[in-house]
Structure 1
């Protein structure tokens, strides 16, 4: 009888090689270098701390307490859901707001140095969401992107590199998981939605959108006013930014130098925005997130610089004090048990984020969507489909018992003429953001007028707030300013 054939290992070896090759290809597109995770963690931590300490802390009393322009009673009236779950709405006292803000800074610092970074990411996201819920009129798209990224980052090994907690370096040059794929695709979706909306816009497809944006005098700053004098350059920027957004798929589709070039193009665009427009933390959040796409060949060069400076050995004494985070066998079993649940939660979170932005961008219609909806105000569309066609400033009219009327903003007589620089009518960037976001919201201007009464002399009879709107087109202001009375409060 014929001899039995021995089991062939050729097919098995071939299958293993094919699987390894497929994993390698996926890894090159959806994997993240551990050093990129470290740089991302450090960058996000720095952005959060700077935003809290430089932008928000100095005006904590004005915008987040009951003695300011947006007390909890107003929040409960205009957004009762936010008032119920915001931790900052537990009390209207300044010390409570300062306590929560300080805790957020501490958690952001833990994220920065890599101490319990996953816990720090979730805690920071929750506290930031609570801060923004306390005053939703100080929130822009960059703030909501930051929170979404922090929640997604909690599923990543953020202590894989440049961290105070030691984690064994993975054998592969990239970490590949559902979490890495999700956060990378999340960024691509943000840009892709923006690109789709721009192609639906007449202003963007005709090349005048950027020119119109740079006519918003309360919005452009630093190099912005100078750049506004060159319409041909602005037209080129219009088409260039549209092209870069359209190429966002290359962030995951490309590898090697093409991916590096795509990342550099996006980072360059965001830094240019930061140098010309008031966008808050948004450009810097996006720059920090974009480093996740940088491939190993670039990090190898950076790693050589870090090694030459002997930074790892300098951190070693601190690491010894904190202790080794190498997990035990029991902890490994627990982690494996949680991994399936975490994966399901991550996928659901990604679906919710994408669905939210499709609704916010009006790409999907729902019964609750509308021009004044909360979803729209939290959209990541950014000047899409159409940029604003006007800018505004405020006149705060105080009438004295003697009949004298002055503008509390500058102490001069009241007039509605266009100022040389509309931004000078706002004390700070947060005031500008609050004035822009809260315009047309019932009840939002009343506390501001009342606050004006409290900050004036006793012989002021009333304070009236006007929002003055200036229409613009690509060539500049159009027509005369249009005043809109917002609120009047009797003082005394």
Structure 2
């Protein structure tokens, strides 16, 4: 008879299986510190670019003189809390923009990195909450990437913080500095022996897995939504998008003439969406190839569709997918072919600036090291150690589970418990990724706002021009920015009827502020035209009156 296995043998085999499984998970969640550094620089740069782009419509979108004054915001979004809603004055909002820009710059250069990441995330949430009508998928993704960045050692490489750690002479000063920074993970100190050392180990934590999964669930859920659309499965979706002139620009204005190419692009994009699990299942160069295909598609979006920063945000989100072999190969290529002298000069200048900042930190006044202060420092250190496990493991595990459940729920394959829903709503991490799904945009839409002036004449007060209901030669040019297009599209939605009067009220006030002859009434129309992407014939055209507004009356807030 076969001899039964001993308990020790079973335990040994089970341990071996667990070790292999753990190693497999670690290999697939590993992120190179150089990737995290590039990711950090990308996030900081994106935040600055986002602020600059939003500032073009600062008064219109974020003040009491704009399309959503605070009395309307508080009435329609009663659960909204926003630092940007404390004042409706342009100077106050501009000041918050400036503060957010300074913090984003600190994030980009890696100064007090964890604190800068957390503050940037909070300020971004406050800014987004101030006017939900102008938000898009890129805004949601940027906030989620920042959230995961809080739990990652983004300042371990290529950062002022790395230089500060390398320059610190007193280990006690290091501990105090770490505590002030929000405590870098053990991985940060272990993987950053010097600001530019080439042999840092990859970081495999729950948070690194979380940031990778965040990108993955976006594509998987979007792919499932697209399954429900006939145009995506039939290969016609991209052709329809390219004939929607209010979205397209640059190459997008010309590529509609190549329907065979657009059909191929549709199938390639759908195939990539369903191949997206390879982003996690594969490693090394194989993962880099899959990630590069996605990056290429997003760069294609960036030069064909005006969808604000979303394509660039997605590209930055793919940086952590490039693992150590890729970064090592890139380093060898730079050493062999790159501008070594210029790079060395840049690195020397950056390290010199970092040491100067470190010396300023060191020269800052500090309390006299009394017994009481020593006891307080010991208490802070002990509290930090106790909180390290909660911060680095428990919280990321909790949110990894929530984003997976939320993604499953969004496509009808699961449910998030009510407490989890409340948490996700609080931190704006609900996973709803229905970009161009289940069906893509199929109509070209534009807006006209005829206003009757005091002298009896009529002007388009939205565009400050003659009134014409005809399709403009370039519809995209009729929108000041992509956020204006998003805002007007949301105003058209049946769920946002209140905002139609808010828009008309803003148009009245803005026209009367900037013109000698006041406007008395404004009527806002949305017009559309649907054309066949293959022969250019017009399939449908219509106009829809959104609101007729008396500019001389009181501010109207529909119930």
TM-score (ref. length: structure 1)? 0.87
Distance 1:423 1:126 in 2: 32
SS at structure 1 position matched to 2:72:
helix
SS in structure 1 of the partner of residue 433 of structure 2: coil
Partner of 1:468: 527
- In the aligned structure 2, how far is the partner of 1:127 from the partner of 1:376? 15
Q: Map 1:70-469 onto structure 2 (within 5 A).
A: 70-82=68-80, 85-166=81-162, 168-170=189-191, 173-304=201-332, 308=340, 309-310=343-344, 311-323=346-358, 334-342=383-391, 343-360=393-410, 379-410=432-463, 412-440=465-493, 441-454=496-509, 455-456=511-512, 457-469=516-528
Counterpart pick for 1:480 among 522, 541, 553 = 541
Shift of 1:402: 4.2
What do residues 56-112 of structure 1 show as CA deviations (whole Å, max 9, x unaligned)?
112211111001122112212322222xx1111111011111111111111111110
Task: After TM superposition, give the deviation of residue 151 of structure 1 in Å.
Answer: 0.9
TM-superposed deviation, 1:363: 5.7
3-state secondary structure, aligned to 1:187: helix
Distance 1:15 1:351, change over 3 A: closer
User: Residues 488 and 23 of structure 1: is their aligned pair in 2 closer, same or farther, counting only changes over 3 Å?
Assistant: same
Q: 1:65 to 1:207 in 2, by over 3 A?
A: same
| Equivalent residues of 1:463, 1:491 under 8 A apart | no
Would the alpha carbon gap of residues 377 and 177 (structure 1) be closer, same or farther in structure 2, given more than 3 Å must change?
closer
Structure 1 counterpart SS, 2:449 = strand
How far off is 1:305 after superposition? 6.1
Contact kept in structure 1, 2:405 and 2:415, CA below 8 Å: no
Determine the C-alpha separation between the residues in 1 that align with 2:50 and 2:327: 27
Residues of 1 paired with 2:150 and 2:319: CA distance?
17
- SS class of match (1:488): strand
Q: CA deviation at 1:17?
A: 8.8
Q: Distance in 2 between matches of 1:380 and 1:89?
A: 28
CA contact (8 A) 1:27 1:174 kept: no
Deviation at residue 484 of structure 1 after TM alignment: 2.4
Does structure 2 retain, via aligned residues, the 8 Å contact 1:271–1:283?
yes
C-alpha change, 1:198 and 1:11, in structure 2 (3 Å) is closer
Secondary structure of 2:541's partner? Answer: coil
2:59 aligns with 61
Q: Cα distance 1:88–1:239, how it changes in 2: closer, same or farther (>3 A)?
A: same
Please report the TM-score for the alignment, with normalisation by the length of structure 2: 0.77
Give the Å deviation of 1:490: 3.0
Cα distance in 1, alignment partners of residues 415 and 468 from structure 2: 43
Q: What secondary structure, in the 3-state scheme, does the structure 1 residue paired with 2:540 have?
A: coil
Alignment match, 1:36:
35
The SS at the match of 1:484 is strand
Aligned 8 A contact 1:138 1:430 in 2: yes
Deviation at 1:224, TM superposition (A): 0.3
1:183-215 Cα deviation digits (max 9, x unpaired): 111211111111112222211111111111112
Is the contact made by 2:402 and 2:416 (CA closer than 8 Å) also made in structure 1?
A: no
Q: 1:468 to 1:78 in 2, by over 3 A?
A: farther
Deviations along 1:350-388, whole A, 9 cap, x unmatched? 33334444455566689999xxx9999983221111112
Q: Distance in 1 between matches of 2:85 and 2:251?
A: 39
Worse-matched range after superposition: 418-427 or 311-320: 311-320
Q: Which deviates the most, 456-465 or 215-224?
A: 456-465
Decide whether the 8 Å contact of 2:521 with 2:550 is kept in 1.
yes
3-state SS of paired residue (1:165) = helix
User: How many Å separate the matches in 2 of 1:14 and 1:330?
Assistant: 43
* Contact 1:361/1:376 (<8 A) preserved: no
Q: What is the Cα deviation at residue 332 of structure 1? A: 6.8
- The answer to whether the 8 A contact 1:28-1:255 is kept is yes
After superposition, the Cα gap between the structure-2 partners of 1:337 and 1:481, relative to the gap in structure 1 and judged at 3 Å, is same
C-alpha distance in 1 between matches for 2:76 and 2:122 = 22
Q: 1:130 to 1:360 in 2, by over 3 A?
A: farther
The CA distance in 2 between the partners of 1:117 and 1:410, in whole Å, is 43
Change (3 A) 1:473 1:359: farther
Contact 2:34 2:157 in 1 (8 A): yes
SS in 2 for 1:181: helix
Distance, in Å, in 2 between the alignment partners of 1:29 and 1:377 is 25
Deviations 1:123-143 (CA, angstroms, capped at 9, x unpaired): 111111111111111110110
8 Å contact 2:451–2:519 — kept in the other structure?
A: yes
1:389–1:473 contact (8 Å) kept in structure 2: no
Moved more, 141-150 or 338-347: 338-347
Q: Distance in 1 between matches of 2:356 and 2:379?
A: 24
CA distance in 2, matches of 1:87, 1:229: 48
Q: Contact 2:245–2:475 at 8 Å: present in 1 too?
A: yes
Is this contact kept in 2: 1:463–1:489, CA < 8 A?
yes
